[in-house]
Amino acid sequence: MSKVEGNPGVREAVVDGEVRVRRLLATDSIPEITRLLHRAYAGQVAMGLMPLAGRQDDETTRRRCQSGDCYVAVMDEGGRERIVGVILFHEVEPDQGPPWFQNKFVDSFSQFGVDPDVQGKGIGLRLLATAEHRARECGATELACSMAEPDAALMQFYMKRGYRFIEHWQWPYTNYRSAILSKNLSG
């Protein structure tokens, strides 16, 4: 496996020899990422939830991607890379975040999604592994996220991967209570 572009400490992820994870490039399409996020969060929107990633515009996607370390999973399709997944490590939020995120030993990820057409192929796990690796590199012993508490399937996804419930949080731009989850990285 080769290294992720722009970050020598993170290895590139290969899934079926077609997909790799790398840092977001200035030439990557923000509208493509916005559309991917809308598709990835469509299930929550269908549940009546209003996640930011499921309804944000291109300017919000751009701002968010620039506020942290953004990684994309790309698939080669006839010489053109198609973005099929995204994760944002250490987003700097304009709004106050949950108390757990304020701890010096905690880092976080957000804006995490995989194109529904390729879910179940390990792409999301590779993106999560990238965020976990970056958190360790930055000295964190915990990696946390905020998720829509009503999404039981998503909660189960995280719990199976070693995340645990920490606290509830209400973001000013959502219509649901969030569950703050965290994974101990020292084990």
Residue 159, domain CATH: 3.40.630.30
Tokens at 104, concatenated: 């010096």
| Residue-level pLDDT at 97 | 87
% of the chain exceeding 90 in pLDDT: 81
> How many whole angstroms separate alpha carbon 168 and alpha carbon 176?
10
> How many whole angstroms separate alpha carbon 131 and alpha carbon 137?
10
Q: What is the pLDDT of residues 9-19, one digit of tens each?
A: 444 444 445 89
State the residue range of the domain holding 31.
3-184
Range 3-28 average pLDDT: 64
For β-strands 106-114 and 142-148, DSSP reports them as parallel
| Residue-level pLDDT at 78 | 82
